[in-house]
Structure 1
Amino acid sequence: MPVPAAIRERCRAMLGPGEDIRYVFPALALSPQTTAAFLIVVTDRSVTLLSVAAGEAPSGVWATYPRRTRLGPIEFRAVPRIEIDGMTFEVEVEYAAVVAAADAEAFSPGDLPRDPLPDL
């Protein structure tokens, strides 16, 4: 299920000027001490981790990484996992394709299908 437009707009407000959002997906950070909710926002220039307050609204920027930060490979378990900068995140299986697409866009753009409607 896509992240709602209202949440995407709140994410956009926390990004650098002119950054174009490519992908947004929710994730849970797992650590021995706690579990914390995040939105992972992939733009044309960065991968930004936004902390999430009650509900699903972003509350602040946790960390920003260069766009060429690899999100995968996805470790498939009961709930799929990815790792970013040593942090482990659980992502819902429906977002596994989003993670793969974000990595393909950054590391092997030739593998992406061509836009069927480039003039729109």
Structure 2
Amino acid sequence: MPVSSGVRKRIREFLDPDDEIHYVFPADIFGSANPCVFIAVTRKTITILSTGRLSRKSPKRVISTTLRNHRIGPVETATTPWFKFNGIVYEIDDEYVSVVHAADAEILRDVAKPEDPLPDL
């Protein structure tokens, strides 16, 4: 199920006002006592927000922020889909695998651009 507009609005409150959300998806931190998070991929950053124990629908605080020049995946899909990001293992629902792939494709597309061979022209 896609992340609702209400949740996106609450997530925006934790981000820079001049930034824009490209992708948002819920995940669980593997083996954590407080596992529920949202991962927000913006134009500038990848921000991970904790939801707290009582609700998966309300972000409570920012856990970490990484510059957008990092990949999130690859996602391992042999069992429950999971990926390792900044040393932490996250599990996601099947429906969000394509979101991670799209976010990674966006960053890889920007990295794969060749340098201008004639920059002085």
Normalised by the size of structure 1, how large is the TM-score?
0.85
Q: 1:1-40: per-residue Cα shift (whole Å, max 9, x none)?
A: 2101000000000001211000000000013x53511000
What is aligned with 2:7?
Answer: 7
Q: State the identity %.
A: 37
Residue identity in the other structure for 1:65: T
- Does residue 1:44 correspond to 2:43, yes or no? yes
Specify the alignment match of 1:65 in structure 2: 66
What amino acid does structure 1 have at the position aligned with 2:41? V
- Give aligned pairs, total: 110
Please give the secondary structure, in 2, of the residue aligned with 1:107: helix
Q: Which runs of 4+ in 1 moved over 3 A?
A: none
SS of 1:98 mapped into structure 2: helix
Instruction: Could you tell me which runs of 5 or more consecutive residues in structure 2 were left unpaired when the two chains were aligned.
Output: 111-121
The structure in which a higher percent of residues are strand is 1
Q: Distance in 2 between matches of 1:35 and 1:90?
A: 13
Consecutive unaligned residues of structure 1, counting only runs of 5 or more, are 110-120
Pairwise CA RMSD of aligned residues? 1.7
37-46 vs 52-61, which moves further: 52-61
Find the aligned partners of 2:20 and 2:6 in 1 and give their Cα distance.
16
User: Could you tell me how far apart the structure 1 residues matched to 2:27 and 2:10 are?
Assistant: 17
Q: For residue 79 of structure 1, report the CA deviation from its aligned partner.
A: 1.1
Q: Secondary structure at the match of 1:108?
A: helix
Q: Which residue of 2 aligns with 1:75?
A: 76
Partner of 2:16: 16
Q: Which has the larger radius of gyration?
A: 2
Of stretches 47-56 and 33-42 in structure 1, the one that deviates more from structure 2 is 33-42
TM-score by length of structure 2 reads: 0.85
